[in-house]
A = this chain, B = another copy of it.
Amino acid sequence: MSLRVPVLRIGDSLLVSIQTDLDDGSVLVLQEDLAARVVEDGATGVVIDISAVEIVDSFVGRMLATIAAISRMLDAETVVVGMRPAVAITLVELGLTLGGVRTALTLEKGLKVLDDARDQRPQGLPDDPELR
């Protein structure tokens, strides 16, 4: 019954756009697919577009934090783009602040964040990935 979310490629980055209301199983599959693709494609960035996502509960919130942590261990940076204001407000009230997850307002800005991170790679990678 689970839907598989397509993982696209833009330059050195992977792009995932969540367009449907995913069940928990599909969320876990996405997490695994992304980890596999970062390694296969040698991607240095992951963009997760949640502009079509109406709610982010603790399960999906954790998935975002987990993808960021996994990607970081595989030497890729993750940016979550397009979070709706109502989703951000609700997440904070729920108690999740997604501390370790980078965000950007739009896809363009997210790709820019990754480009900039790439330019600075040798100097030092961001660290201290906390799950919350």
Contact = CB atoms under 8 A, between A and B. Distances in A.
Interface string A64-94: 0010011011110000000111101101110
A11 interface: no
B119 A89 contact: no
A88 B68 CA distance: 11
Contact of A116 (B102, B121, B126): B121
A113 interface: yes
Interface residues of A, number: 49
Contacts of A86: 35
A52 interface: no
A105 interface: yes
